[in-house]
C-alpha cells in the first residue's frame, strides 16, 4: 500500500514503517490509504483484522460496526477515539486508537490514523485506556491491574498499605463508572481491555 501524498510526508511514513505496532491511515469509509509494515503483516494473517474490498474491518464481525463508528466519530468530532476489538488469538482484546489526520497540503477530507496495540495490566497503555474509557483515577487503575492479575481485596489493601474498606469503596466506584454490577464482571471487562494490542 504505497501512500499517494506529497514528498514532504515521505519521512513521516518512513518513521511509521519502523514502528512495530500496526498503524493505518483510512478514509471516512474505512478504505485503507496507508499501512505500515506491521499493519500489512497483521492484515495478511487475517486473524484480528481484514481487508474487505479495500476497507479495514475486524475479523470479529461484531467489532466492525464499532470500528466504523469510531472512525466517523474521530473525523466528525476531530478528537481521539479508542475502542476495544476482540482478538481470537488472545483472551484479551486489542485497543484500537483513532486520531483525525489531514495530510499536508490536502484540501480534501480528513482521514483517521489508526494505532492497534495490545495492552497488559501493568503497562501504561492499559492505565491510559481505563482512564480514557471510564475516567478511572490512578489509584483505581492500579487496583484494576491488581484485580486482573488475580489479587483479592485483602491482598490489594496490603500492597497499597490501605484499609480493606478503602479498596472496597474504590472497587464500588469502578463498578459505577464501568456500569458493571459485580466484581467478576468488572474483572472480566478489565481483562478484555488488558489484552488489547
On whether the CB atoms of residues 25 and 108 are closer than 8 A, the answer is no
Same structural domain, 104 and 143 = no
Same structural domain, 86 and 43 = yes
Same structural domain, 79 and 132 = no
pLDDT at 8: 57
Distances (CA, A) of 71 to 23, 47, 103, 181: 14, 21, 16, 30
Angstrom distance (rounded) from CA 145 to CA 87? 20
Residue 60 is assigned to a structural domain of this protein? yes
Same structural domain, 93 and 157 = no
Same structural domain, 113 and 145 = no
The domain tally of the chain equals: 2
Q: Which domain holds residue 182?
A: 124-194
Report residue 26's pLDDT band, with 50, 70 and 90 as the boundaries: very high
CATH number at 153 reads 1.10.10.10
Angstrom distance (rounded) from CA 88 to CA 82? 19
Same structural domain, 57 and 28 = yes
Same structural domain, 135 and 186 = yes
On whether the CB atoms of residues 24 and 35 are closer than 8 A, the answer is yes
- Write the pLDDT tens digit of every residue in 146-158: 888 778 898 888 8
Same structural domain, 72 and 166 = no
Model confidence, pTM = 0.58
Report residue 3's pLDDT band, with 50, 70 and 90 as the boundaries: very low
Residue 190 is assigned to a structural domain of this protein? yes
Amino acid at each position: 500500500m504505497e501512500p499517494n501524498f506529497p514528498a514532504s510526508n515521505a519521512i513521516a511514513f518512513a518513521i511509521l514503517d519502523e514502528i512495530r505496532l500496526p498503524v493505518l491511515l483510512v478514509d471516512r469509509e474505512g478504505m485503507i490509504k496507508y499501512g505500515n509494515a506491521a499493519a500489512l503483516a497483521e492484515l495478511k494473517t487475517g486473524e484480528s483484522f481484514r481487508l474487505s474490498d479495500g476497507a479495514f474491518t475486524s475479523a470479529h464481525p461484531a467489532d466492525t460496526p464499532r470500528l466504523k463508528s469510531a472512525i466517523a466519530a474521530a473525523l466528525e468530532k476531530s478528537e481521539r477515539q479508542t475502542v476495544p476489538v476482540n482478538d481470537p488469538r488472545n483472551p484479551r482484546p486489542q485497543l484500537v486508537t483513532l486520531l483525525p489526520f489531514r495530510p499536508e497540503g490536502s484540501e480534501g477530507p480528513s482521514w483517521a490514523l489508526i494505532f492497534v496495540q495490545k495492552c497488559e495490566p501493568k503497562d501504561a497503555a492499559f492505565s491510559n485506556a481505563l482512564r480514557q474509557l471510564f475516567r478511572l483515577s490512578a489509584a483505581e487503575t492500579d487496583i484494576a491491574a491488581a484485580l486482573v492479575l488475580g489479587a483479592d481485596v485483602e491482598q490489594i489493601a496490603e500492597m497499597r498499605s490501605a484499609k480493606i474498606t478503602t479498596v472496597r469503596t474504590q472497587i464500588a466506584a469502578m463498578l459505577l463508572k464501568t456500569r458493571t454490577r459485580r466484581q467478576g464482571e468488572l474483572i472480566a471487562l478489565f481483562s478484555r481491555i488488558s489484552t488489547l494490542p
